[in-house]
Structure 1
Amino acid sequence: MISEPELVGGGGFPDPVAPPLPHPPPAPAGQDTAAPRARRPWLWALGGAVVASAVWAGGLYAYERGQDGGPDLGGYRTDRDPCQVAKAEGLAAAFGPKGVSPDEPLKVDHPALFQWSCSVTLASKPIMYTLHISYDLHRVTDPGPEFLAVREDPQLLGGGERISGIGEVAYFGGYEENSLTVLDGQAVLSMSLQPTDDFDEDTNQPIEVPELDPAAMQTYLVEDMRQLMTALRS
């Protein structure tokens, strides 16, 4: 979830010199002559700023907290294999039905971060494609700033076209063509379609990979990603 940027303040100017205070009149007989200690202005100002910041932050993030005090995970679960629950009906209609996984899935279950990445084949001919799926669930920190940093800085191999209509923020394409990456609260999900092999072992010749229509690919990926997000929350 994307949070508001912090307000950075503080000038570089010295405090003005205060004029000397007049001596207090003598206290009446029998009264304590010790004057009360004055509170330093910067102390109460700092305390007020801290309290105000805490109240502001509490009000801003109250709706994001879960019942256990951690971030609200939005119903996303960690007991579902993304490649099994992803129907990929849009891509399967264009590139052939889902097949077996060509690689072993990678699963990391850490108190701060859950990750699951896997892939399935789509049995199209003459080119077979592989659909790669990754699912990250951030259990402690807000993934929003890092997500935007990667996507908005070409040096971080992100890029792509920002699109609307799915998740909180979504990008199509970029460093990986024919891909969709979505930020949805504490979850970051991605789908990318790549040729499984561009070399024909029977003829010992390279296979010409056809150029895919970006508009059609975006439609397929958004449709299939929306179904996957629902499956991971049910």
Structure 2
Amino acid sequence: MTQGPESAPPADLLSDEDRHSPGLARPKPRPWVWGLGGAVLASAVWGAALQGVGYGRTALPDLHGFHIRGTLCTPSIMEPLTDNVTSGRIAAEEPEIREGPALDHIACSFASSLPTGDGWATAYAVSVTVDLHKKTDPRAEFEATYDPRASAAASKEIGDTVFYPDANSVTRPYPGLGDLAYADDGRTHESLSVLFGGAVISVTVDAINTWTAPGRMPTDADGSPERPYLVDSSSIRPFLAPTVRHLMGVLSEPVDGSQD
């Protein structure tokens, strides 16, 4: 009978000469392997700890129960403003509605005319926008859009009437409404824009005089219209804040009777 290959003796029984024998050489430890393994383990433990306390998570904006609905684009929702810019019919354009996982948006436009009794009438353009930001805080965007240091007016066209920017308008903070609000007061332009959690609400009114009687408009000796196109819109300024508050109340109503 022949013996099988002898197994190597335990390491603690090897002599110094045996330990250095080529046939019994042992691989040297690699310090960087242990260092890498320790770093990975530490990172995993630290990451788990941060995840456990919610580090790195951003709270979703508070929408205060607001919901977008098509019925927002009706004159009754915009009272008392709409009651003070017409003596009769007010026309509402088709609303623009977009809904998505990050943003719900609705924009409405109203046109009205208030006769002055001498063949002229004051035409009003009322615009309403509501944006509900579901994922990110819109405060920085709101300040960049409505802050007087950064915002810029633009012309708008509703029906056959063009409303130009009011170069004399002044934007100021409006206290006591939402988290942050700005009012823009001018001679032919008024607006109030509100930030409330993730909701951004803006109501604007532009006004201009138009000739509505048959024939050509009367002019003075210089050929200028007897009644200037520019009007004083300050009379409707007090109605913007109550209108925005009314709109915010409607936005917060449960949809189809559901409770939030």
Question: Quick one: percent identity of the two aligned structures?
Answer: 23
> What secondary structure sits across from 1:173 in the alignment?
strand
Q: What's the counterpart of residue 129 of structure 1?
A: 124
Q: TM-score, normalised by structure 1?
A: 0.64
Corresponding position of 1:177:
189
- Structure 2 residue 172 is the aligned partner of structure 1 residue 161: yes
SS in 2 for 1:210: coil
Mark the CA change 1:131 to 1:153 in structure 2 (over 3 Å): closer, same or farther: closer
SS at match of 1:101: strand
Paired letter, 2:183: F
The letter for the 2-side match of 1:37 is W
Segments of 5+ residues of structure 1 without an aligned counterpart are 1-28, 65-70
CA 151–97 in structure 1, closer or farther in 2 if over 3 Å, else same? same
Which deviates further from its counterpart, 223-232 or 156-165?
156-165
Letter in 1 for 2:203: M
Q: State the distance in 2 between where 1:199 and 1:84 align.
A: 24
Q: TM-score, normalization: structure 2?
A: 0.58
Q: Of 180, 189, 193, which aligns to 2:205?
A: 193
Kindly indicate whether the alpha-carbon contact (under 8 Å) linking 2:70 and 2:97 is maintained by their aligned counterparts in 1: no
Give the AA of the match of 2:240. Answer: L
SS at match of 2:244: helix
Any gaps of 5 or more consecutive residues in structure 2?
Answer: 1-11, 14-27, 117-121, 154-169, 218-224, 254-260
Q: Does the 8 Å CA contact 2:97/2:107 hold for their aligned counterparts?
A: yes
Q: How far off is 1:93 after superposition?
A: 4.7
Kindly state the Cα deviation for residue 153 of structure 1 after the two structures are TM-superposed. 6.3
Per the alignment, residue 232 of structure 2 pairs with 211
- Partners of 1:199 and 1:142 lie apart in 2 by 42
Shift in alpha-carbon separation, 1:177–1:129, aligned structure 2, 3 A: closer
Per the TM alignment, residue 223 of structure 1 is displaced from its structure 2 partner at its CA by 0.6
Matched, 1:221 2:254: no
1:14-33 matched pairs, under 5 angstroms: none
Q: Which amino acid aligns with 1:172?
A: A
Q: Which structure has the bigger radius of gyration?
A: 2
Aligned length: 192
Residue by residue over 1:110-139, the C-alpha shift from the partner in whole angstroms, topping out at 9 and shown as x without a partner, is: 332222111223442231322211111223
Contact 1:91 1:221 in 2 (8 A): yes
